[in-house]
Amino acid sequence: MIKIAPSILSADFSKLGEEAKSVETADYLHFDVMDGVFVPNISIGLPVLESVRKATDMTLDVHLMIASPSKYAARFAAAGADIVVFHIEAEPEDEARRAIAAICGAGKRAGLAIKPGTPAETLLPYLETLSIVLVMTVEPGFGGQTFMPETLPKIALLRETIEKRSLHCEIEVDGGINPETAALCVKAGADVLVAGNDVFRSDDRAARISRLRSATAG
């Protein structure tokens, strides 16, 4: 079953509680954290996550696009994240492994993300320790960008490896997802689709969520 994860980066930040409620037919609520260092943009952080946590029971899928994520991963877990995903480009292996252990030790699901230029092979040594891997299908930093089809073979490689090793790790795609690109990603092996503009720029969010699901059915 394909999961849909609307990204609140594209929501109206003056009413995040209501915005979260408007997408409750989805599976995860995607929460993008940007620090202006790892990516050239600044978004939202811990206090906002605490508020959103109080406003919804949805699974909160936190995507850290920050430098030194191992310093903050446990705090995001404590602030209400259900899933904490950070970028492997942002940490050396020993720090990354420590951060994964800290997230799991807090009873949360851990994930690693890769930018479009990072090979999928970088993630392979970690798969056994992860609940989710996130393949960026645009350069991280902004919503509303155009999907990069050259990332599709990375999804396929991850799917093949996960099946071969009989793991339960989900594959999430993030950036430029609409009904057409969603279908390409699911065909390549993705099972969680992040969608910012496609869902939040519509007045009928539930209809957009259904549209994404039906575009990937069968």
Q: Where does this chain bind ligand DX5 (CB under 6 A)? A: 7, 9-10, 30, 32, 63, 138, 140-145, 174-177, 194-198
Interface with Zn ion (CB under 5 A), residue from 91, 170, 174, 198: 174
Considering only residues 28 to 47 of the shown chain, the ones binding Zn ion according to CB under 5 A are: 32
CB of 187 to ligand DX5, least distance (A): 18
**Separation CA 153–CA 189 (nearest Å):** 10
Closest residue to ligand DX5 in the complex (CB): 196
Beta bridge partners of 64: 33, 86
- The item of ligand DX5, Zn ion, none sharing an interface with residue 196, based on CB under 5 to 8 Å by kind, is ligand DX5
56 binds, among Zn ion, ligand DX5, none (CB under 5 to 8 A by kind): none
Least distance to ligand DX5 from the beta carbon of 119, Å?
Answer: 19
Q: Which of 110, 144, 107, 143 is nearest to 127 (CA)?
A: 110
Reduced 3-state DSSP string for the chain:
CCEEEEEHHHCCHHHHHHHHHCCCCCCEEEEEEEECCCCCCECCCHHHHHHHHHHCCCEEEEEEECCCHHHCHHHHHHCCCCEEEEEHHHCCHHHHHHHHHHHHHCCCEEEEEECCCCCHHHHHHHHHHCCEEEEECCCCCCCCCCCCHHHHHHHHHHHHHHHHCCCCCEEEEECCCCHHHHHHHHHHCCCEEEECHHHHCCCCHHHHHHHHHHHCCC
Q: Residue 127 or residue 142: which is nearer to ligand DX5 going by CB?
A: 142
As beta bridge partners, residue 111 has 85, 132
Residue with Cβ nearer ligand DX5 (7 or 131): 7
Among ligand DX5, Zn ion, none, the one that 10 touches (CB under a kind-dependent 5 to 8 A) is ligand DX5
Q: Active site includes 204?
A: no
Please state, in angstroms and rounded to a whole number, the distance separating the CA atoms of residues 205 and 26: 9
What, of Zn ion, ligand DX5, none, does residue 82 touch, CB below 5 to 8 Å by kind?
none
- Residue 32 vs 191, nearer CB to Zn ion: 32
Which member of 3, 63, 108, 213 binds Zn ion (CB under 5 A)?
63
195 binds, among ligand DX5, Zn ion, none (CB under 5 to 8 A by kind): ligand DX5
Examine the residue annotation and report whether 174 is marked as an active-site residue of this protein.
yes
- Residues in contact with Zn ion, shown as a per-residue x/- string from 72 to 91 under the rule CB under 5 A: --------------------
Positions marked catalytic: 32, 174
Interface contacts to Zn ion, rule CB under 5 A: 32, 63, 174
